[in-house]
Structure 1
Amino acid sequence: MTDIKEKKQKHKEDLKLTILEAAKKLFVQEGYESTSIRKIAKEIGFSPTTIYLYYKDKNDIVYALHREGFQLLRQQFGALESVDDPFQRIKALGRVYIDFAFRNPDYYQVMFMMKEPMTFLETHCAHEQWPEGERAFDFLRGTVAQCQEQGWFKGLDGNFVALQTWGAVHGLVTLYLSEHMSKIAENLALELSVRELVNKSFEVFVTFIEQSKK
């Protein structure tokens, strides 16, 4: 009996994952508004009724994808908790964040470039609450605070330092995902791939911070 229950549970989880993968693909390729439950069902070869067994509506699906993406990102950030030097941890956070976006562009767009998960939060959660983003930001903000204890970012509000750091890296990633960076690379005529250009730009940003302490 236990084996049967386990098989049913696995089937349920596998089907939910299949639904999410199909929805993620359609949301990014066709846009949120153009994607319907019927289209998602057609993509996976099931009836719309099957999807409604697991998700209330399209909003429920996009927020589930949003959570899945942040879970993946937190797992990668978690490995950096063992980095003792907080400034080295900030640099590692930036590199991991960029690599995550390179490897998971569809998730990244759902997490940071689509407004629909935020709309879901406004409807279902407390005002101005964003639990997934807040946990990730708190890790960065805590690392910035530890850096300040060691003399970095003197006279600056740590909240704004963390926000600016996130914004700088997000900007590079967004230019890459939107393919604007490829046009910049062509204009600069550098012998670098677009990914290399993103990583090099981040290293320059870090070097600028390091030099400002001297």
Structure 2
Amino acid sequence: MGIKERKEKHKEDLRQRILDAAKELFLKDGYDATSIRKIAEKIEFSPTTIYLYYKDKTDIMYALHQEGFKLLGTQFLVLQHVHEPFERLKAMGRVYMSFALSNPDFYELMFIMKEPIEFVKNHCHDEEWEEGEQAFTALINTVEHCKAAGYFVQFDTTTFALNIWSLMHGLCGLKLQGHLDHMASTKISLPDNVNLMEQTFDGFISMLEKLK
């Protein structure tokens, strides 16, 4: 590895350290309580160093937002080989659910905290938020393909896609915030080997099948 390559690797490694430290602090202390100085202290660099990479903490938050959507988009991408559209729609639901449970930190930054989407609304045009647009477009395209196959033809595509996303987000949010498990332990009698989230998802799929 040459000098130029080593310098680039050092820059990328430091950039990732900044993002990782910021993500931890945003989720632990909240966006407002996190400062560039605190992020710098966590990685043991000066604030000036961070400003070489990001202009402010909103820029860092947006970079994390993009990183999360890139990860989700990569996981959606592997579903392109699922040609039957309704099966692909079900698989997208499972991938989304798995992403939320495997990456709760990213999920909170992407879909629960308000600061990243406020940045998008105030500073980005659609073409500048490619990762987020691609994720929702993948869902809309799959609903379109379902309609072309004769499913859900009585529904508006975008509205139906938003309803699906809203229900999946609600399920994931309830699980991540502990409400689903609390309900399972106090209000619902389930056998030990039954996963309430899986059962709820299966019930959602059964509703979709009835709408076909």
Query: Does TM-score exceed 0.5, indicating one fold?
Result: yes
1:130 Cα deviation (Å)? 4.8
Distance 2:145 2:198 in 1: 25
- Asked if 1:22 is matched to 2:21, the reply is yes
Distance 2:99 2:130 in 1: 19
Q: Aligned residue for 1:197?
A: 196
Q: Aligned residue for 2:116?
A: 117
- Asked if 1:37 is matched to 2:49, the reply is no
Distance 1:122 1:159 in 2: 20
TM-score by length of 1: 0.92
1:212 Cα deviation (Å)? 3.4
TM-score by length of 2: 0.93
Distance 1:26 1:189 in 2: 38
Distance 2:60 2:193 in 1: 35
Distance 1:160 1:6 in 2: 48
Distance 1:92 1:177 in 2: 20
- Cα distance change of structure 1 residues 7 and 163 upon mapping to structure 2, 3 Å threshold: same
- Asked if 1:91 is matched to 2:93, the reply is no
> Gapped runs of 5+ residues in structure 2?
none
1:54 Cα deviation (Å)? 0.5
1:199 Cα deviation (Å)? 2.1
- Cα distance change of structure 1 residues 192 and 202 upon mapping to structure 2, 3 Å threshold: farther
Across the two proteins, how many residue pairs are aligned to each other?
A: 211
Q: Aligned residue for 1:48?
A: 47
Q: Aligned residue for 2:172?
A: 173
Which segments of structure 1 move beyond 6 Å, counting only runs of 4 or more?
none
Q: Which moved more, 1:174-183 or 1:79-88?
A: 174-183
Distance 2:178 2:78 in 1: 30
1:208 Cα deviation (Å)? 1.7
Instruction: Tell me which amino acid in the other structure corresponds to 2:37.
Output: R
- SS of match in other structure, 1:188: coil
- Cα distance change of structure 1 residues 137 and 57 upon mapping to structure 2, 3 Å threshold: same
1:123 Cα deviation (Å)? 2.8
- SS of match in other structure, 2:2: helix
1:204 Cα deviation (Å)? 0.9
Query: Which digits, 9 at most, give the CA deviation of each residue in 1:98-149, with x for residues without a partner?
Result: 100111100011111111112212332238x854322111111111111111
> Are 2:66 and 2:132, in contact at CA under 8 Å, matched by a contact in 1?
no
Distance 1:188 1:206 in 2: 20
CA RMSD of aligned residues (A): 1.9
Distance 2:99 2:211 in 1: 28
> Gapped runs of 5+ residues in structure 1?
none
Query: Which digits, 9 at most, give the CA deviation of each residue in 1:41-83, with x for residues without a partner?
Result: 1111111111111110000000000000000001000000111
